[in-house]
């Protein structure tokens, strides 16, 4: 996995089967994607979790 998370972005995706949101981080080349472990009923909570995951990765604490 790439170690330079400054060239990554965060986002969320909706799972229509479970009606939940999940945050993720992904490199800007769209070749690597890491999904968050938690799912959320509220999209805003997933957005916050994705942002936190990206912030932690950029500060040397990558997911996984």
Share of the chain above pLDDT 90, in %: 91
Q: In what order do the strands lie in the sheet with 33-35?
A: 8-15, 20-27, 33-35
Per-residue pLDDT, 2: 46
pLDDT score of 1 more than 80: no
Instruction: Give the mean pLDDT of 48-60.
Output: 97
- What is the rounded distance in angstroms from the CA atom of residue 35 to the CA atom of residue 14? 12
Instruction: Give the mean pLDDT of 45-54.
Output: 98
**Other Cβ atoms within 10 Å of 43 Cβ, number:** 13
**Selected residue with higher pLDDT from 16 and 64:** 16
Residue pair 26/9 in contact (Cβ under 8 Å)? The answer is yes
What are the percentages of helix, strand and coil residues in the chain, rounded to 5? Answer: 30, 30, 40
Per-residue pLDDT, 22: 98
Instruction: Give the mean pLDDT of 21-29.
Output: 97
């Amino acid at each position: 996995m790439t170690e330079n998370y400054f060239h990554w972005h965060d986002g969320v995706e909706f799972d229509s089967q479970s009606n939940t949101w999940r945050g993720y981080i992904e490199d800007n080349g769209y070749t690597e994607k890491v999904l968050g472990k938690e799912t959320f009923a509220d999209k805003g909570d997933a957005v916050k979790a994705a942002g936190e995951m990206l912030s932690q990765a950029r500060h040397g604490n990558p997911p996984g």
